[in-house]
Structure 1
Amino acid sequence: MLRPRIIPALLIQDKGLVKTVQFSNPKYVGDPINAVKIFNEKEVDELVIFDIDATTKGLEPDYNLLERIANQSRMPLCYGGGAKTVEQAQNIFGLGIEKIALSSAVLQNPNLITELAERVGSQSVIVVLDVKKKLFGGYEVFTHNGKKSTGIDPKDFVVQAQNLGAGEIIINSINQDGMMNGFDMNLIDKIREKISLPLTVLGGAGSLEDIEKVIKRHGIIGVAADSFFVFKGIYKAVLISYPSKLAKKILLNEYRN
């Protein structure tokens, strides 16, 4: 049964857990293994992990770290960062990770979506697009931690990804990353109307009300957050959190199919 999902997102750099603001100034906030253990206890819907160094430095995924994370995790895992080939993706799946998130690799070679979907199934192939507002309106996809422009309109590429066999789209707003002042609802609306695939949105969550606003508007959707589940209060003390079972039940119950 499809239902909305509330998903913590973890950013990994140099084997540590970090948080960014608009894809800049990564701040070390702890050990990702400890974060996974805490999220296990909180019974989260799913966990998304991005290695923010792998692609920019041309590195392969850190299979040893991913194996440690997978061994500790009792929740579905999605991983993105550094994978460029079917073989690398299969290595990741072999560790017990259920989904792979691909960005620059499929922007350069869209047919990789089809190759992977045919090999492992569409449900495991996730296309993640880091999106920035253009100066005079519209949006553009960026890669390499938001530093490399592609000239690609995300509305066009999500349709192409769907046609090629992707199982899910993740839209990450660079402008809203770490701001904790709400999601870019205009961006979400524009992407949602283009595709029928499962959609997850990331960038901007600062409260349960922000998450609720997205779910009320779009129903069956994944709502991901990083800073909101790791920082507490105006001084951003590090405290890993997740909605209680009761709060989550109240938040999601109305939107179940």
Structure 2
Amino acid sequence: MLKKRIIPCLDIKDEITVKGINFEGLRNAGDPVELAKRYEREGADELVFLDITATLEERKTFAELVQKIASELSIPFTVGGGISTVEDVRRLLEAGADKISINSSAVKNPTLISVLAKEFGSQCIVVAIDTKLVNGSDWVHIKGGREITELKTTHWAKKVEELGAGEILLTSMDGDGTKNGFDLRITKDILDLINIPVIASGGAGKTEDFEQVFMKTKASGALAASIFHFGEIGIKNLKRELKSKKISLR
């Protein structure tokens, strides 16, 4: 069994870390380079950097900022936002990213997943899925959660695996920033269907939420942002608590 991972997320807008609730009402959460350094010191297993307006603004991810952060890190570092070509991926890997995350571009052009997996290896390709419950069903959303698609979340997750993705970053839009706990239902539904690792995201508010997602689903990672950024939970304390519950951490 894969050891579980604790993963802080840096949502970046205008080169500043921000955080909102349900993808809206963004507030400043600090300097991304300083946060990255702090999280590595505290024992984070990986770090995710998402340039959350790159796709909407039809521009590429801030490669210089990626380079600054990567130069301070020795833990695995995933970068997403505005990635749609082999050249985009190569540029970010050269800047220091270990893995890249695609979302809107994968939905619009699913063969991109296979192309990137073939070029860089499946282990490098993370597909981010933003999901929301609408009229009793879970639907994939794109463009920073602003646009609903015709893809059911479970169907898309299965397709993503078949196309060669190495991992899924699953964000519950309903849970995002609410601190009401991870969406165990959709996380479990997807992990019952597929065999690649899934990182659960959206809703972490307390230590017990991490315990629940690891005990009740097969999620291999749990991602959070505001509770780490604003000092509500310390990573060292979180990992100590989880280990005391016999949860095997990286």
| TM bracket (short chain) | over 0.9
Q: Which amino acid aligns with 2:144?
A: N
Using the size of structure 1 for normalisation, the TM-score is: 0.92
Q: Which amino acid aligns with 1:106?
A: A
CA distance in 2, matches of 1:147, 1:162: 24
Mapping of residues 157-236 of structure 1, within 5 Å: 157-219=156-218, 221-232=220-231
CA distance in 1, matches of 2:211, 2:201: 14
**Preserved CA contact (<8 Å) 1:3 1:220:** no
CA distance in 1, matches of 2:180, 2:3: 25
Decide which of 227, 230, 244 is 1:250's aligned counterpart. Answer: 244
Using the size of structure 2 for normalisation, the TM-score is: 0.95
Q: Which runs of 5+ in 2 are unaligned?
A: none
CA distance in 2, matches of 1:179, 1:243: 22
Equivalent in the alignment of 2:124:
124
CA distance in 2, matches of 1:254, 1:92: 33
CA distance in 2, matches of 1:217, 1:20: 27
Q: Which amino acid aligns with 2:243?
A: K
Please report how far the alpha carbon of residue 249 of structure 1 lies from its aligned counterpart in structure 2 after TM superposition: 2.9
SS at 1:9's partner residue? strand
**Preserved CA contact (<8 Å) 1:4 1:219:** no
Please report how far the alpha carbon of residue 124 of structure 1 lies from its aligned counterpart in structure 2 after TM superposition: 0.6
SS at 2:54's partner residue? coil
Please report how far the alpha carbon of residue 95 of structure 1 lies from its aligned counterpart in structure 2 after TM superposition: 1.6
CA distance in 2, matches of 1:248, 1:68: 31
Please report how far the alpha carbon of residue 219 of structure 1 lies from its aligned counterpart in structure 2 after TM superposition: 4.3
SS at 1:243's partner residue? helix
Q: 1:195-221 deviations in whole A, cap 9, x for unaligned? A: 111011100000110000010112452
**Preserved CA contact (<8 Å) 1:17 1:30:** yes
Q: Which amino acid aligns with 1:250?
A: S
Q: Which amino acid aligns with 1:178?
A: G
**Preserved CA contact (<8 Å) 1:171 1:200:** yes
Mapping of residues 92-171 of structure 1, within 5 Å: 92-134=92-134, 136-171=135-170
CA distance in 1, matches of 2:205, 2:218: 19
**Preserved CA contact (<8 Å) 1:47 1:78:** yes
What RMSD, in angstroms, separates the aligned Cα atoms of the two structures? 1.7
Q: Which amino acid aligns with 1:202?
A: S
Q: Which amino acid aligns with 2:92?
A: I
SS at 1:55's partner residue? coil
Q: Which amino acid aligns with 2:234?
A: S
Task: Report the number of matched residues.
Answer: 249
Decide which of 222, 234, 246 is 1:241's aligned counterpart. Answer: 234
Equivalent in the alignment of 2:42:
42
Would you say 1:23 and 2:17 are equivalent positions?
Answer: no
CA distance in 1, matches of 2:82, 2:165: 18
CA distance in 1, matches of 2:187, 2:219: 13
Q: Which amino acid aligns with 1:166?
A: A
Please report how far the alpha carbon of residue 65 of structure 1 lies from its aligned counterpart in structure 2 after TM superposition: 0.6
